[in-house]
Amino acid sequence: MDITLTFAPGSCARVPMIALEEIGVPYERQLVRFKKGEHKSPEYLRLNPAGKVPTLIIDGKPLAQNVSILMWLARSFPDAGLLPLTGDPYCDASLLARLAWCSADLHQLVTRIRLPAFSCDLPDSAERVRNLAAASMAAQLDSVETDLARQPWLLGDDWSVLDAYIYWIWWRITGAGFPRDRFPNLAAHTTRMEARPAVQRTLAIEASALAQLEEEGLVIHFAETPPIELPIT
């Protein structure tokens, strides 16, 4: 089987890349140069009509959206333990709900925290958008923080690809000023994630892709964002 993952360093394509590295299956990587608009080119839009990474190309057939890519990987490589799928319709749908929560609910908050001006361009609106998104993110991460106080991984004793998703979300928001101090268990979860060889390989792949973009003058630099103060709960 031929598998190719399109990605950009730091993007949510990190999640399926970790999954592929955990599986250990050979795959190709296609670096997408956002600054050149490669993701909006007609060829790329044929693969992924939303013009986003990741796309997984399986024997020439494209699959977009993290939820479907991760579900396909979990079903195709069951021994890798990406998700504890059992075939029970309710249990499997509950796992899908957790993936969709990361992809649909939390990811859009990540974008508002990092790039608030994309969500509202009224004068002085960016800070308000960012703070509201951060407050909503914090409220949703509280349940994860509570779970991680009694178990190492999101689903319990066993790692799953949901851990990779939350890891990426946490990395993205804390890199954009979201406060770490209210979430010590999430911070410790990051340490556990980064001890995994698959995650270390993924980060090394991203670092070398970033170095390549630097060399080509194609790194997008965002303005520094001030630390966020969460409302007192």
Binding site for ligand GSH (CB under 6 A): 11-12, 34, 39, 51-54, 65-66, 103, 107
224 by Cβ neighbours in 10 Å (0-12 / 13-18 / 19+) ranks as exposed
For the CB of residue 48, give the shortest distance to ligand GSH in the complex, in Å.
8
Contact 147, 186 (CB under 8 A): no
Q: What residue ranges in 51-159 does DSSP mark as E strands?
A: 55-58, 61-64
Beta bridge partners of 3: 58
For the CB of residue 172, give the shortest distance to ligand GSH in the complex, in Å.
8
For the CB of residue 135, give the shortest distance to ligand GSH in the complex, in Å.
22
Nearer to ligand GSH, 5 or 138 (CB): 5
Beta bridge partners of 176: none
Nearer to ligand GSH, 27 or 34 (CB): 34
Helices (H) and strands (E) in the chain, counts: 9, 4
Nearer to ligand GSH, 6 or 159 (CB): 6
Nearer to ligand GSH, 66 or 160 (CB): 66
Q: What is the CA radius of gyration of the chain?
A: 18
Between β-strands 3-7 and 28-31, what pairing exists: parallel, antiparallel or unpaired?
Answer: parallel
Check the CA dihedral 166-168-171-176 and report its sign.
negative
Nearer to ligand GSH, 111 or 136 (CB): 111
For the CB of residue 112, give the shortest distance to ligand GSH in the complex, in Å.
12
Contact 187, 181 (CB under 8 A): no
For the CB of residue 152, give the shortest distance to ligand GSH in the complex, in Å.
25
